[in-house]
Structure 1
Amino acid sequence: MTEEILVKQAIKGDEEAFLTLIHSYEEALYRTAISYLKNEGDALEAIQEVTYRAYRSIKTVKEPAYFKTWLIRIMMNYCRDVIKKSKREVFEERILNIQGITEDFTFLEVEEALLSLSDYERELLHLKYFEDVKIKDISVMWNTPEGTIKTRLHKALRALRAGFEEKGEVKRV
């Protein structure tokens, strides 16, 4: 059965179709949650909450072809709400070293660089590069022209690069 047929059935109230869809996107939901929340327990809780929210509002899906995008958007909004509520802070490498943890902290540098971007830029980069959502789909989801999305994506990447160049991490010729 195709995804669109499953989505249409789920919108009509078919619980099995809904569960099939959720299971097929479970990994994408987990990756999104872990990239925002940085904690496996919180990510698993986020998946449960987003599944509930999606089930509750499945009838609001306007275009079945964009179900995955709709679902990821719910996850991103939920994660942002959780972060705002808990006012989390990013640990610096020296704090982790004090605790005796010695690992490769490149991911922290990337996270720190991403935090220097606006929420909009972070979401755009996440959708495009972590969830592999097409620019066309992002433009439909955000009701923004494709050209504008491409321009904003280019600016976000340039800002991210500039953050690394300031630290001396990346030198582009």
Structure 2
Amino acid sequence: MSADEQLVKAAIKGDDTAFLKLIQTYKIDLYKTALSFLKNEDEALEAIQEVTYRAYKSMSSVRDIAYFKTWLIRIMINYCNDQVKKNKRVILGDDAFIHQGKTESHTGMELKDAMLDLDERSREVLTLKYFNDMKIKDIAHTMKCPEGTVKTWLNKALKALRNKLEDKGGDLHV
């Protein structure tokens, strides 16, 4: 059993110090996720606070300690999706989108606009894969669907994103 898994077990049993260590371990992943969905750093930091609270309150609902990070990221995604629906806005923090070793260079604004035009599931799968570096297997677990489905969604999301960038006159470097 890994050190993180031991911390998760302790946190489930009510060890606040273990819970705080886990949040500290995953705060960068939570921040990247929040920033990819929300408009700015302040909102991303607020999201981390809210998700920390929600995770603390529902710690007993963790079913598989090996997937604690996935569970935590899922809480963040749900929170961010709710915020996006409220605010009707999304942002990406990177200026380049990397896919299978190929770099497609676009300005941050082009990516933001293109991501805004995508459906919620496409934004979610792209965020998990490219901003959280999650494996297909972990994305499938997070989204509660087969790996093949995630691959299909990812393919469609990338194709849609490319099409939107081309429609906006983006300069594709594939």
Q: TM-score, normalised by structure 2?
A: 0.84
Partner of 1:151: 152
Consecutive unaligned residues in structure 1, runs of 5 or more? 91-104
Partner of 2:6: 5
Letter paired with 2:86: K
Partner of 2:94: none
Partners of 1:37 and 1:50 lie apart in 2 by 14
Higher relative strand content: 2
Which residues of 2 match residues 1-150 of structure 1 at below 5 A? Answer: 2-88=3-89, 106-150=107-151
Partners of 2:164 and 2:125 lie apart in 1 by 17
Partners of 1:89 and 1:131 lie apart in 2 by 16
Q: Give aligned pairs, total.
A: 159
Distance 1:59 1:162, change over 3 A: same
* Backbone CA RMSD of aligned residues: 2.0
Letter paired with 2:7: L
Q: TM-score, normalised by structure 1?
A: 0.84
1:116-160 alpha-carbon deviations (Å, 9 max, x no partner) = 111001000000110011100111222211111111111110111
Consecutive unaligned residues in structure 2, runs of 5 or more? 92-105
* Largest Rg, 1 or 2: 1
Between 1:130-139 and 1:40-49, the stretch displaced more is 40-49
